[in-house]
Amino acid sequence: MSEITSATNPRVKRLVALRRRRVRDAEGLVLVEGYEELDLAVTAGVAPLELYLCRELMAGDPRDLEARASAGAQVHHLSRAAFEKAAYRDGPDGWLAVVPRVESRLEDVPDEAAPLLIVCEAVEKPGNLGAILRTADAAGATAVISVDPVTDWGNPNIVRASKGAVFAVPVASVTRDEFLGWARDRGVLLVATTPDADGHVTDLDLTGPVAIALGSEKHGLSAEMLARADVRARLPMFGRVDSLNVGVTAAVVAYEAVRQRMQRDGSPPR
């Protein structure tokens, strides 16, 4: 099989272009870089359209993932120089794939009796969204819903920060009004996390249908979301800072819900 060696090769240029949202949106494609990220995506059922490999950068025996990821895909081998140009992170490990866009429709959120939803309103940083997705996957959450989103689920930094969990956890992107109407119709308890609340998250019953709402890093939840929430709650905090990183907050509250559900049922959520 021939190897792409030039960093100016048209295929390499196209991979670089897919880092931009407008290109991803226009082509309906997403980049997945890294062995762990691609392994999780393929395990979750994602079928790569194109697979780019650099043997020189790989460690260990790649044959199992290569066999699974290459089924039905165009496979291309790149030199180290060409791959490092195509890669979007420092220290690439020789794995890069092009996959279909992440579906993010509200109607695709699983219909569960007691869903555990994590709702992110205008959260800006892809790294935080990725961390929230990792928490959602680990905690067995039903879905992560982005309300009035600032970025798309195919952002390479979300894929990287989530370790590929964006392909394993159902996600949705909606307006605030769409989400509020959808949650009301399904009897979901909307919990607004805010440092200005009087009650603690640990005082709530999180065993039923619940949506944990988290606001942007700078401004928190909108006045509209706070006003229409069923309850406001904060984390027990005893130091001088008044809030935690949004990703950390999501993890603490999600695992409080997991603790309560395990205590009630004697088993994990799934």
Say what the pLDDT of residue 33 is: 97
* pTM for this model (two decimals): 0.93
Name the strand (E) or helix (H) holding 24: helix 21-27
Q: What is the pLDDT of residue 149?
A: 95
- The residue ranking higher by pLDDT, 1 or 115, is 115
Q: Phi/psi of residue 141, each to 5°?
A: -65, 155
- Three-state DSSP state, 252: helix
pLDDT band at 239, cuts 50/70/90?
confident
268: pLDDT strictly greater than 70: no
pLDDT digits over 135-155, tens only? 999 999 999 999 999 999 999
pLDDT of residue 270 exceeding 60, the answer is no
How many helices (H) and strands (E) the chain has is answered by 10, 11
**Number of alpha carbons in the 13 Å side-chain half-sphere of residue 174:** 19
Q: Report the C-alpha gap between 209 and 207 in whole angstroms.
A: 7
Give yes or no for residue 10 having a pLDDT over 70. yes
- State how far the Cα of 270 lies from the Cα of 26, in Å rounded to an integer: 36
Q: Which residues pair with 257 in a beta bridge?
A: none
- Say yes or no to pLDDT of 29 above 90: yes
Q: pLDDT class for 208, splitting at 50, 70, 90?
A: very high
> Which residues, including other chains, have CB under 8 Å from residue 105's CB and lie 6 or more apart?
172
